[in-house]
Structure 1
Amino acid sequence: MNVGIARSPSGARRWLILDRDGVINHDSADYIRSVADWRPIPGALEAISRLSAAGFGLAVATNQSGVGRGYFSLATLNAIHARLLQAVTKAGGHIEAIAYCPHTPAESCGCRKPAPGLLLRLMADCGFAPADSVMIGDAQRDLEAARAAAVACIAVGTGASELGTRHGVPAFADLGAAADWLLQGHWPC
């Protein structure tokens, strides 16, 4: 398990742990293999900016088995994350840390979601508790990782409504809509 591009803790009282692919940027069945493949979902960067301005701490937890499968290198993954951080900063937002799992599912590690390792590592490294955090994801594995780490969760993206109903969590079309809800003072239980 790796935590990349960590920044100094912000002192935020509430934290959001975002999945990357499908929440911040478009996902691909062929993996996001290069900086050129990384394309933000419309409104996602602005949502991160609004949440940052409101005092939320933000971190990213992402499975990146493309590294373990040999589809792209760790250097390429770091370049993709540097591009993500640059785009977030340009939009006025801030991400404290990015935790990623480079392992394949066959490796049965403790960090690959749905295991809670990435979330637990972010909480330890950034200094926040499960009760003060929410995982925002677009897949079953994100919500399962959150539950395993005792973190509340929100479903976003395609299929969020079904996912939200199945897990009894708030569901939104995208990160922008989830941000609107959070900024109105809501917090999932």
Structure 2
Amino acid sequence: MERTYFNKDGSGVFSIKVDLTKTGKLISVIKYINKDYEGITKLIGYNAFYAAKKRFKKIIGIGDVRLKHDEAMLKFTLRFAFKNIKALNEAIGKINEGLDPANITYFSFSDELFVREDANGIAKKLLFYQKHDNCLVESLDLASFFKDITYTTIYTFRNRIMDFSNPLSQLTKDKKTIRVVHHVFSVDETEDAISNRIHFEKK
């Protein structure tokens, strides 16, 4: 789940949470069958977030970085504050380092328009990560392991939303928060994924 609060000046707070509780039973079976998989949940979530957190130290405009996880290592959350959209884009680039081309503009933000680009799609990222990683994830059947996986984006703005491009979008009553729940391996949702173009009401 990707959640972001945007202030009018382009600053805000971003968080990304990985929740593996739905696959908890499957993970337990995998660990029981093969002891080499004891640290699989840490490999899937914590290690990637920890590496990103260390890279954030070099980014001007990123602060209050927090990384937490539950005792069972099934939930991981990376949270940070950003002073502007440039810093946010750079931070997301560090999270997706090696997955996307360099200098991708993930977020664009103005008084009239907000754009969220999805460079390669979440499913493609998972498959890329599996193919190029040297750890145990390499041997997993990701389509089966993550068959029910969703990637949710929740964005909250100060301005009211007028319209949006992603048909998966759900708007709150106050028209200031928009949610997209993307079923990652659903063929029908591949084209739209989490990308969105949001226009704000004019004052």
The answer, yes or no, to whether TM exceeds 0.5 is no
TM-score relative to the length of structure 2? 0.32
Higher helix share: 1
The TM-score with structure 1 as length reference comes to 0.33
Instruction: Kindly name which structure, 1 or 2, has the bigger radius of gyration based on alpha carbons.
Output: 2
Q: Which structure has the higher relative contact order (CA within 8 Å, separation 6+)? A: 1
